A and B are shown apart, each in its own frame.
Chain A
Amino acid sequence: MCDTCGCGNSDGITIRKPGEKETGEIHQHIHVHEHDHDGIKHSHQHEHHHIHSDGHDHHHQNDINEYNDQYGEHKHFHSKELIVEQDILSKNNLLAERNRGFFEAKHILALNLVSSPGSGKTSLLEKTIRYLRKEIKFFVIEGDQQTMNDANRIHSAGAPVVQINTGNGCHLDSDMVNKAIKELNVENNSVLMIENVGNLICPSLFDLGEAIRIVIMSTTEGEDKPLKYPTMFQSSHFCIINKTDLLPYLDFDIEKAKQYGRQVNHHLKFFELSVKTGAGMDNWYEWLKEQTKMIK
């Protein structure tokens, strides 16, 4: 089963470049249980000595008594307390930090683009790559359940790209990104765009090692989107409101949308643009160029 999201064995996670056949699959199953711990001497944070499985230890150390008294419970016999204090998502977060270190060392600006399906992430990337590729080296990681469609579009726009297909999985995690960047051979002084799976809930929990997380919403999605999906807006640094060209046909109050966004995350900064018509794109291009200068 997949280490992070529990997807089934039969749907392998694959990482492919455009043009690669199915046989280019890399099965990504990291098995959950590792069992080799023979004769390890570990010092725990508490004072208990080890209780060997072949003997019986009836001594209660003071720590156990204190713990039990505090919790109103007293377990006799052979139980001993282990202080663990381990973050449940620690595996993902540790690898995310390694990714982050890698990006920093190589002056790679890594952006994690999140949104509902259909807000315009891929279109934004296509247009941005076409416009800026002479000035900026782009590398792209695409995430979808199935198909190479998005990767093919990015490939046509002229940037190196790999497609991660998550199968039953609903988000990208740091391990997938770690493997993808090795496939991609991301260069120094470049911008890595990670287009996450279209999903406004699950990706918010998973740090990929990005420098900046950008949530994209479109005018067709209703201005109360940030209130309905606060976790994603809270965990993002920037918000792009796309499809402003449709405003005349919609009951979408853009100022209210920004207000709701700031209510959930007062650090949030906004871009308002239309990928289709190009309105507002200059601000986005300028910002991107500024960011790349800052990481050199």
Chain B
Amino acid sequence: MHELSIVMNIIEIAEENAKKANASVIVEIELDIGKQAGIVIEALEFAIESAKKGTMLENAKFIINEIPALARCASCSYEFETDDLFTPCPECNNPFSDIFRGKELKVKSLKVE
């Protein structure tokens, strides 16, 4: 959901930073997208294809880092990778944990000319 509006924000951030550096073309853009950020990567890629036309990102290479979600057990503090928000702790089986990584939605860097 919202992949298109996310892409619009990405384009805005990228163009703003590129122009500040007096660049005319963005050659590459690196994104951190957490697996629990609520974004579907395929939908994001699809939205990028249409939205980048006519912008400084038109011919840019998109590097998308999918950041895996990490949770910390509320009981034993064991840290484990998780695909959802309700996997019990693999160490002690406690059902309660807190996600501390995997919600990133970030423009990490650009390569410009």
Size of chain A's interface in residues, with CB distance under 8 A? 49
**Cβ contacts A216-249/B at 8 Å (1 or 0 each):** 0000000000010011001000000000000000
Per the bound structure, the CA–CA distance linking A44 and B33 in Å amounts to: 23
Contact A86 B2, CB 8 Å, known A37-B19, A75-B27, A78-B113 = no
Contact A52 B13, CB 8 Å, known A79-B111, A87-B106, A88-B106 = no
CB distance from B40 to the nearest CB of A (A): 12
Contact A201 B112, CB 8 Å, known A84-B107, A87-B106 = no
Interface range on chain B (Cβ under 8 Å from partner)? 35 or more
Interface contact A83-B22, CB-CB below 8 Å:
no
Interface contact A42-B20, CB-CB below 8 Å:
yes
Per the bound structure, the CA–CA distance linking A88 and B106 in Å amounts to: 5
Interface contact B38-A266, CB-CB below 8 Å:
no
**Cβ contacts A29-61/B at 8 Å (1 or 0 each):** 000111101001010100000111100000000
Chain A neighbourhood of B67, CB < 8 A: none
Please name 11 pairs of A and B residues whose Cβ atoms are closer than 8 Å in the assembled complex, sorted by A: A6-B2, A53-B24, A75-B27, A82-B21, A84-B14, A88-B9, A89-B6, A202-B1, A231-B36, A231-B38, A266-B95
Enumerate the 10 nearest inter-chain pairs by beta-carbon distance, A residue then B residue, closest first: A266-B96, A6-B5, A263-B86, A230-B85, A88-B105, A82-B110, A78-B113, A84-B107, A79-B111, A37-B19
Given A53-B24, A201-B38, 8 new contacts (CB under 8 A):
A50-B22, A84-B110, A90-B13, A202-B1, A230-B85, A230-B86, A231-B85, A263-B95
